[in-house]
Structures are given as structure tokens and as C-alpha cells.
Chain A
Amino acid sequence: MPTTRRELLQKGSALLLLTGAAAAALEEVLAGTPEKAEGYRLQEHWWAMTIDIGACIGCGNCVRACKTENDVPREPYYFRTWVERYRVPEGDLEHPLVDSPNGGYDGFPELSQPDKGAKSFFVPKLCNHCAHSPCVQVCPVGATFESPDGVVLVDTTYCLGCRYCVQACPYGCRFIDPRSHTVNKCTLCYHRITRGLTTACCETCPTGARRLGDLKSPTDPIHEFLRTHTVHVLKPQMATGSKVYYAALDGSVR
């Protein structure tokens, strides 16, 4: 089909005003979607997660599913999500005993002698997908970023492996992948949620303790959950804009 005068002028002016690559991607940029995301519009989503401490049974399904789905190294120091067990001596919120054998990958063996008078519960952890992420602020090359739909992602082709972000994350959610020597972290299963699926950890959570939510979708059950539960985020004093909301979170959790 021959190019019409209108098309020629449109493309020509785009080339004049933008760089070559930006001009080629102009349609996708205007639509707010990257080239490969068919039917997924970035500006229509704002992802979050809710975790109900009262429902978590510490089975470790989320930890195993995450490692399987995202090809996380199996060694016990690398986790995109992990589960901690808290034991809080009665009334002593400042000195909880916390353990996480293999990140909860194999579940939690019952203690041979449970502490008398202590309360005990599980706390699943993952990247909090902060709206104002300390890790993003320290990246010297723009390799880690908050996506327009509210997910903190890493550009592994651009990451230097300098480890600033690993130190900056107040939640300890990042690690250097020993295979690529670049940073690795929870992507909130970006490859799944952009295809209409939930994350691997939520998919396999047997009690529904973890739920993915889209704060921009008016019909998402997350709105009712946040209204009807007492929710907290971790380390609110750091003003990270965390979007992982914990229901029934104990004051001893760090």
C-alpha cells in the first residue's frame, strides 16, 4: 500500500521531534503500553497485595512456588518471598524470637519445647512494591524502577550489580543472583499479572492468606478487604509507600 501524504507527514514529524527508537514506538507510547503487552494497559492498574497473618499456616507453598515459577536459586540464601515465624514472649514486643529455616521452603518443624506464655504466628514477606522505593532512589543507572502500574522491577540488561539497592531496601527483599551477578527480586510475577493471572504465591496459597489486588480496579475485592480489616504496612515510619498490606499484624513484627 503506498504511503499517503498524511502518514508521511505524521511519521516525518515524529522522526523530527523524537529519537528514531521513540518515533518507532510512538503508537505504543501513546497507548501507554510497551510493545509486547497486548491488551494490557499500564495506566489501568496499580498492583498491591494483602496478607492476612490470621490465615497463614506456614506451609511454605508460596516460597516453593515462587522459586519454581521464577527460577530463583535453590540455595537457602536466595528468596523473592520467604516466611518468618515469630515467637513473642508475653508482653515483650521488643524482643521477639524470629526464625525462618530455609526461608520456610520446607515448612516449619514444630518446636520440641514451645515457649510457655509466648504467642506465635507466621509472617510471609516479599518485596513491598513501595510507591516511593528507597531502592529505586539509590540506583545510579536507572536499572531498577517503579513501573507505571505500581511494580518495582529490575532491568537486568542494565544493572551493574553495584548492590546499592540491596543495602537500601529496608525490608531485605533483594539479592545478587550468583549466576548473572545482577540484582534479583520479586517482580510480583509481572509475567503472570499482565496476562490476567495471579502471582505464583497467591495461586498456591491454600488458605487465601496472600491475595493480589489491583487498587485501580473498582470491582477488585481488595477494596473491601482494606475497609473491613485492620491493616498495617511494615516500617511505616520509613514512608516508603509500601503496597503490601498486612491484616492482624502484631506490633512486634519488624
Chain B
Amino acid sequence: MSHFFKDTEHLLRMAGLFAAGVVGFVVLRAIFVPAGFGELGHFRTGALADNQSRPLVFAGREACEECHDEVVALRKGGAHAGVGCEACHGALAAHAGDPATVQARRPDPKATCLICHLPNAAKPTSFPQVDPSEHGDGQACTSCHRPHNPKVQ
């Protein structure tokens, strides 16, 4: 039995090197792999929260409708009923968060309409398109049409 344990130095050396390799791997892995990596997939779980933490710039239609009842009533049944408020009025999360100090701007009464309604061959033919040089006598669209419910009455 004793001869079996003779000349074991090279084996111990190898075992020591192997153990050092394992320890080195564990230590380096702990340093380089970020916390939370691999819990839900091959990514850092905290990256989800990072992506969620951006501030809002557009408030969303529901936020507008919480206060502006009269506009909700006016839009009902009209051709613009499905258009989000911020499609014309622009980003208004700041106004929705603090309506007293941050005022919403009134959209341009002609340029805003033409963003959508200027004629273009690539637009669906069913979409109402108006050439301002042939229609409206150069006046602002809002002099005849109410933007929230555009059909002239």
C-alpha cells in the first residue's frame, strides 16, 4: 500500500494548480458577471428596470380626458374622434403633471391640419385631402371647421 503513495508530488502539484484555477475562475466570474445576470434569461435583470425608468413625455389620451370633458363631448361621433389629443397638440406630459404652471400651446390653425390633409399620391384615396391653393381662400382652416369635430354645420 505504501508504494502507492510514493512519488505523489507531481499529482499534488497538479491538484493545487487545478484548485487555484477553479478559485480563480470563481473569483473572476464574481467580479465580471453583473448582479442579477441570468435570473430571467441571458441578460441582467436590472436592465428591465433601467428601460422602464424613462420619464414620460407624452401623457396619453386618458390623462387629457380626465380634465377636458367638454372636448370629449365635442369630439364624440366626429371624424376626429379617434385621433389622440397629442397627435395635434404635441407632447403634454409636463402639462398633465402640473396643469397650473405648464400651459398647453394652441396648434397652428392651418399648418397642423395640413400635416395630415395635404394631398399626396401615396395616401389612401379614401383619406380626405385638401389643396389649400384651391380650397379655403387662404384662410385658416379653423375659420370654418372646428378641429375637434371638423364637419361644417
Main secondary structure on chain B at its contact with chain A? Answer: loop
- Compute how far the CA of A160 lies from the CA of B122 in the bound complex, rounded to whole angstroms: 41
A69 touches B120 (CB 8 A): no
B54 touches A70 (CB 8 A): yes
A194 touches B52 (CB 8 A): yes
With contact pairs A145-B43, A147-B48, A191-B53 given, residues A54 and B122 touching in the complex (Cβ less than 8 Å)? no
Residues of A within 8 A of B57 (CB): 68-69, 200
Q: Find residues 36-68 in chain B having any chain A CB closer than 8 Å to their own CB.
A: 36-37, 39-58, 60-61
Q: List 24 A-B contacts (CB under 8 A).
A: A25-B45, A34-B45, A42-B40, A54-B124, A56-B124, A58-B122, A87-B122, A107-B115, A107-B118, A120-B121, A121-B124, A122-B123, A145-B41, A145-B43, A153-B48, A153-B51, A154-B47, A157-B44, A158-B34, A192-B60, A200-B58, A204-B86, A206-B83, A208-B82
Which among B39, B48, B58 is the interface contact of A65 at CB below 8 angstroms?
B58
- Compute how far the CA of A248 lies from the CA of B83 in the bound complex, rounded to whole angstroms: 22
A34-B46, A35-B46, A107-B115 known, 10 other contacts, Cβ within 8 Å = A25-B36, A42-B48, A61-B87, A69-B58, A85-B122, A153-B48, A158-B47, A191-B53, A191-B55, A203-B87
Residues of B within 8 A of A55 (CB): 124
B53 touches A57 (CB 8 A): no
Residues of A within 8 A of B120 (CB): 57-58, 108, 110
As a 0/1 sequence over residues 168 to 192 of chain A, the CB contacts with chain B under 8 angstroms (1 = contact) are 0000000000000000000100111
- Compute how far the CA of A208 lies from the CA of B80 in the bound complex, rounded to whole angstroms: 11
Residues of B within 8 A of A70 (CB): 54
- Compute how far the CA of A208 lies from the CA of B36 in the bound complex, rounded to whole angstroms: 39
Residues of A within 8 A of B122 (CB): 58, 85-87, 108, 120-122
CB proximity of B119 to chain A, nearest CB, Å: 6
Interface residues on chain B, size class: 35 or more
Which among A29, A122, A197 is the interface contact of B45 at CB below 8 angstroms?
A29
Q: Does B22 lie at the interface of the complex (its beta carbon under 8 Å from any beta carbon of A)? A: no
Q: Does A2 lie at the interface of the complex (its beta carbon under 8 Å from any beta carbon of B)? A: no
Q: Does B107 lie at the interface of the complex (its beta carbon under 8 Å from any beta carbon of A)? A: no
- Compute how far the CA of A133 lies from the CA of B6 in the bound complex, rounded to whole angstroms: 58
Residues of B within 8 A of A145 (CB): 41-43, 47
- Compute how far the CA of A159 lies from the CA of B97 in the bound complex, rounded to whole angstroms: 33
Q: Does B84 lie at the interface of the complex (its beta carbon under 8 Å from any beta carbon of A)? A: yes
With contact pairs A57-B127, A70-B54 given, residues A155 and B47 touching in the complex (Cβ less than 8 Å)? yes
- Compute how far the CA of A110 lies from the CA of B118 in the bound complex, rounded to whole angstroms: 9
Q: Does B35 lie at the interface of the complex (its beta carbon under 8 Å from any beta carbon of A)? A: yes
As a 0/1 sequence over residues 89 to 129 of chain A, the CB contacts with chain B under 8 angstroms (1 = contact) are 00000000000000000011011001000001110000000
Which among B48, B115, B121 is the interface contact of A60 at CB below 8 angstroms?
B115
CB proximity of B132 to chain A, nearest CB, Å: 12
- Compute how far the CA of A56 lies from the CA of B43 in the bound complex, rounded to whole angstroms: 36
Residues of A within 8 A of B41 (CB): 145-148
Residues of B within 8 A of A155 (CB): 43-44, 47, 50
Q: Does A13 lie at the interface of the complex (its beta carbon under 8 Å from any beta carbon of B)? A: no
Residues of A within 8 A of B50 (CB): 155-157
